[in-house]
Amino acid sequence: MRVVSSKIQGLLYNLGFFARTLKGVGAFIKRGQASRRILVMQILFTFVQALGISSLLALGIGAAVILIGVPNLALISQQQLLYPLLITIITRELGPLLTAFIIIARSATAIATETAGMVISHEVEAYISVGVDPIEFLAVPRFLGVTISLVLLNIYFSIFGLAGSFVVAQFFNTMPADIYFNNLLLNLSINDILITVIKSTTFGMIIAMVAITEGMAVERASTEVPVAGLRAVGKSFIGCIAVNIILSVMYYIVTA
């Protein structure tokens, strides 16, 4: 019973922290000049510095789908299925999840350990003592930075995966560019764009909130800092995978 009670309390705490962070977004927009540098630096670290690994993954996956799909689909005279397959894999399913994994590996640990270090060093208490809201100053810019970065990185992943992989595939299997891109646009629907934006936004919020709350949950010992980072990574992976399954099932039910 105590374990169940503590889990319920933890869930209520996280929900309350999330609601308080959302409330702080408005205040941050109005008077957050002091912490806007944190937002900019968070986007720089989470989005800009992750472009390299995202490009490599997008190229590899897109090129593999084309190189494997074209000859195999040609055997059954279904080459036109290549385009919905590319959109499904790169834009709708793997794109949001892989970009979330990249950000979890890079930013969830960084945010959790940084926040935990602030708690251990009493920096958060110092903010409170001078009347600065630590949620508005510390949590909100990181929350916005991670969420914005994941959406941007997912858009980049989709564009680079669909366009860049075509260039790579030309070295192995020549394909007219006008036919390729016209068919992609014909098969890309508003629903595909909406679901990928919804997924990336949700994943970004999950990663940011898990990392921040795990960092804030430490108490006194410095040994808790790396543990907070590990917990943030594990919970972020579980949360993103679970939500991805739910959103994918809902998408196929609605569009069936």
pLDDT digits (tens, 9 = 90+) for 121-136: 888 888 888 877 788 8
> Per-residue pLDDT for 73 more than 90?
no
The pLDDT assigned to 235 comes to 92
pLDDT digits (tens, 9 = 90+) for 74-111: 777 777 787 888 888 888 888 899 999 999 998 999 99
**249 pLDDT band (50/70/90 cuts)?**
very high
pLDDT digits (tens, 9 = 90+) for 208-244: 999 999 988 887 777 888 888 899 999 999 999 999 9
pTM for the full predicted model: 0.89
**7 pLDDT band (50/70/90 cuts)?**
low
| Residue 108 vs residues 37, 113, 217: alpha-carbon distances, Å | 19, 9, 14
Average pLDDT over residues 110-125: 87
Between CA 233 and CA 8 the distance in angstroms is 21
Between CA 161 and CA 90 the distance in angstroms is 7
> Per-residue pLDDT for 189 more than 90?
no
Q: Please report, for the chain, the start and end positions of each structural domain, with discontinuous segments joined by +.
A: 2-255
Average pLDDT over residues 41-50: 89
**119 pLDDT band (50/70/90 cuts)?**
confident
